[in-house]
Amino acid sequence: MKNLAVFSSGFGSNLQAIVNSVKKSKVKANIALVISDNVDAYSLVRAKKAGIDFLYADPADFKDRTSYDKFIVRRLKKEKIDYVVLAGFMRIISDYFIRQYKHKIINIHPALLPSFKGTQAISDALDYGVKVTGVTVHFVTSTLDGGPVILQSALDIKDDDTLISLSERIHRLEHKLYPKALDLLVNGKLLVKGRKVFVKR
């Protein structure tokens, strides 16, 4: 069974969705470790409640991003982590980290990439006036929100949507799509060729 490390800086709703999917055997993997850069992250509480080992590492204790990531990677190697799952992790990870886990780090983004990159994707889509947005699961590369797309799911924006209502529907979609992508990943069903990701049959 593959070992996962889930990285989360905040509330951890996607972490909880993954925990639930593992418990229900919808994702056949072991969440070996939860890592956060925020001591107050509720994701750490979720990990504790689920009996999952967790680590808080303060970026202020390290001289630069690479030093931080080298510390984290050493812990991942010790725990024999196979895949890294970013779930609301608000730090950009270094090229060093990405090289250590090429095509083994995935992230979820609340928009249909390559549209609306960055941390304000939901409000950016709403403000722009697009009629359709959605969710993207992608591999992580050195380009911000620019890695090969694994899965996407679209969502119509309603005329009366607010940031709150659209965010709620986006998050519900994330909680369905992320476990699906993770299941494909841990079962070796994904084949990456350049920018394209194919699902093996």
**In this predicted structure, what is the pLDDT of residue 60?**
94
Domain spans, the chain? 2-191
Look-up of token digits 């950009």: 92
Read off the pTM. Answer: 0.95
Per-residue pLDDT of the chain (201 residues; tens, 9 = 90+): 999 999 999 999 999 999 999 999 999 999 999 999 999 999 999 999 999 999 999 999 999 999 999 999 999 999 999 999 999 999 999 999 999 999 999 999 999 999 999 999 999 999 999 999 999 999 999 999 999 999 999 999 999 999 999 999 999 999 999 999 999 999 999 999 999 999 998
Cβ-contact 12, 90 below 8 angstroms: no
2-191 belongs to CATH 3.40.50.150: no
Clarify whether 109 is annotated catalytic.
yes
DSSP class of residue 61?
G
Distance CA 170, CA 179 (A): 15
Report how far Cα 168 is from the mean position of its chain's Cα atoms.
Answer: 17
121: its two tokens: 């994707």
**In this predicted structure, what is the pLDDT of residue 201?**
82
Phi, psi dihedrals of residue 6, rounded to the nearest 5°? -105, 125
